[in-house]
Each structure stands twice: as C-alpha cells, then as structure tokens.
Amino acid sequence: MRRALAVLVVALALPAAAGAQPGVGVKAKTGKGLYAGYCLSCHGVDGSGVISTSHPKGVLDLRGLGPPLRGVGAQAADFYLTTGYMPLADPHDQPRHTKSPFDKQEIAALVAYVASLGKGPKVPRPQPRLGDLSQGQSLFTEHCAGCHQIVAEGGYVTNAVAPPLHQATPVQIAEAVRIGPYLMPKFPVSQISDAQLNSIIAYVQWAKHPDDPGGWSIGRIGPVPEGLVAWLIGAAALVGCCLLIGRRFQR
C-alpha cells in the first residue's frame, strides 16, 4: 500500500518537475525579455554568470549554474541557440543538438541582446566553396577526427559524447571550431586559418554523403561492424569448405 502511494506521488510529481523549466509561459519578444525568461536563472543578470550554488535561486526557484556571457559575442550565442544546445534544462547535462524552442526572429533578438552585453566576436561567414576538399580531409583528420571520427559520425571522449556532424551547418561548424563548445578545445586562427576552416567545412559537407567506394557503408564506424560482416561471410565460406572437403569423389 505504501509502495503504491509512493508510485502515485512520483507519478504526480514528474509532470510538475518537467514543467518547471525556465521560460515556460514567457510571452516576451524582445531579446532582453526572452533572456529574462529563459536564460537569466543560469547566466545571471546582464550575463554576469552564476558560478556557485550559494547564489540566490532564480526564476521558478531553479538552482541555476552557468558561465558569464559578457564578451562571448554573437558567435557563441548564435551557435548555442541555433543548435538547440541552449536553453538547457539541467546545467549538469551535456547540451545536445535539439530543435530550438525559439523561432528565427527570437533567436536573432537573443543573439543581438547577448552580443550587446560585451564586445565579442561576430557570427562568422565561412565560404566552404572556396575550400579544398583534399586539404580539408587532412586537416579534419589532424584536428577533428580523433573525437568526431573520420567521416564525422561522432564518437566519445571520457565523460562525454563527441556529436556527429550530420546536422551541423557551415556557420555552426565555423563557430564551434572557434569557441570550442562544452568539452571541445577551441582552435584559434593561429592553429586553423579561415581558409583552412573553409576546407574543413567543405570536407564535413562532403562527409555527410561520402562516396562509399566499397558500395556498402556498414555504418561507417570502422572495424567493429566491418569485422562482424567479414566474420559472417568468412564463417559461411568456412562451412562451405568443410562441406567440400567432406564430400566424396564420384568415381
């Protein structure tokens, strides 16, 4: 009886907890209004950041935690908002690529507001058409493939996921390289020039639909599925050999 009661209580509490997200019911259309509704509890007043849990609770009593946004510029705001990385329900989660709750105008308003908080980099304008695919591949291999896998299928680092890049737009790739979202290192111009970045983006665009010279992609994630297929074919061939050896010669 007590257990049934406990289940009931949890079932009732869950939707309430899910609803307790920042910004629910916010009607504002201005950047500042949206910021107050969706961002303030973690990023603080005017992007000052919340870096300790001893900070007073924010909107809807959420215990927010978030880095300061002064000086991150339009570049970072555009990346985190267009990818749906932000708003993030739990600051301890890794942000994932999701559909943004904002429409284009709202994102533009928020980006403009965050950019106004301090001097920071603008949204980049990469031109992958000027890039060189072959150079892009070697640069991607050198700088990116360790985590994101050679055809950008994504992978893992300890404690986190390196996301696949199927959905990444050229602008988002350029932004991510420069700002290093979440656990990704950032690559300054001294490491990857803008021209090289164009090549990398050209390669990622190509890697979304690679040629598959073998005719069969098998997930494009390397030796595990390929080995599995090889073993299945190999095992069938071995059974065939056994049957052949065991067969009698017709005299």
Partner 1 sequence: MSAFRKWAIAFGVLLLGRKKRQPRVVDRPRIVPPGEPDPRAEWLVLLLLLLAAAAAVGFIVVYSFNHLAHQTQYLGLALGLALAFVAVALIVVGKRLVVTEELEEDYSLPHSTAQEELQQLVDESGDRFTRKRLLLAGGTAAAGAIGAALVVPALSLGPLFDTGALYETPWRRGVRLVDEHGKPLLLDEIERETFYTAYAQGADKELLGAPVVVVRFEPSQLHLPAARRDWAPGGVVAYSKICTHAGCAIALFRKPTFPVVEPGPALICPCHYSTFDPTRAAKVIFGPAGRPLPQLPLAVDANGVLRAAGNFSGPVGPAWSGVRSKPPRNPS
Nearer to partner 1, 11 or 244 (CB): 244
Nearer to partner 1, 8 or 195 (CB): 195
Count CB-CB contacts under 10 A for residue 135: 16
Q: Which of 5, 216, 249, 250 binds partner 1 (CB under 8 A)?
A: 249
**102 is an interface residue for partner 1 by CB under 8 A:** no
* Binding track, positions 55-84, relative to partner 1; x by CB under 8 A: ----------xxx-----------------
Q: How far is the CB of 226 from partner 1 (least distance, A)?
A: 17
**155 is an interface residue for partner 1 by CB under 8 A:** yes
Q: Which of 19, 71, 146, 240 binds partner 1 (CB under 8 A)?
A: 146
Q: How far is CA 75 from the centre of its chain?
A: 16
The widest CA-to-CA distance across the chain, in whole angstroms, is 94
Range 170-229, binding partner 1 (CB under 8 A): 180-188, 190-191
Answer whether 233's CB lies under 8 Å from 214's CB: no
Nearer to partner 1, 78 or 106 (CB): 78
Q: How far is the CB of 147 from partner 1 (least distance, A)?
A: 5
Nearer to partner 1, 92 or 104 (CB): 92
Q: Which of 54, 105, 159, 250 binds partner 1 (CB under 8 A)?
A: 159
Nearer to partner 1, 182 or 220 (CB): 182
* Binding track, positions 19-58, relative to partner 1; x by CB under 8 A: --------------------------------xx------
| Interacting residues toward partner 1 by CB under 8 A | 51-52, 65-67, 91-92, 145-147, 155-160, 180-188, 190-191, 245, 248-249
